[in-house]
Amino acid sequence: DELTDATRDMHRAITSLMEELEAVDWYNQRVDACKDSELATILAHNRDEEKEHAAMVLEWIRRKDPTFDKELKDFLFTDKPIAHE
């Protein structure tokens, strides 16, 4: 009961993002190891849906966390060096 609703929701979102990215990794490995091209296509499709889910959760996090908002706006969709200051 010491955590606010906002903190609990952010935890849910971060955990969900981690799980979606983990699923992407698993599907990448399955696609890479798969010998059946039809199954590989299905697995790649499933992987890409996990990427969509991850993007949706990341956007929710961005909208709720001003620091994430600032950092994502600074680093994403730019040609600046990634390690820029």
In tens, the pLDDT along 24-63 reads 999 999 999 999 999 999 999 999 999 999 999 999 999 9
Give how many domains the chain has, as a whole number: 1
| Residue 36 belongs to some domain of the structure | yes
| Residue 85 belongs to some domain of the structure | no
| Residue 52 belongs to some domain of the structure | yes
| Residue 25 belongs to some domain of the structure | yes
Give the H/E segment covering residue 74: helix 66-75
Overall average pLDDT of the 9-14 stretch? 99
**Domain enclosing residue 36, as ranges:** 5-75
8-state DSSP, 36: -
Decide: pTM greater than 0.85: yes
| Residue 68 belongs to some domain of the structure | yes
> What pLDDT score was predicted for residue 62?
99
| Residue 43 belongs to some domain of the structure | yes
| Residue 83 belongs to some domain of the structure | no
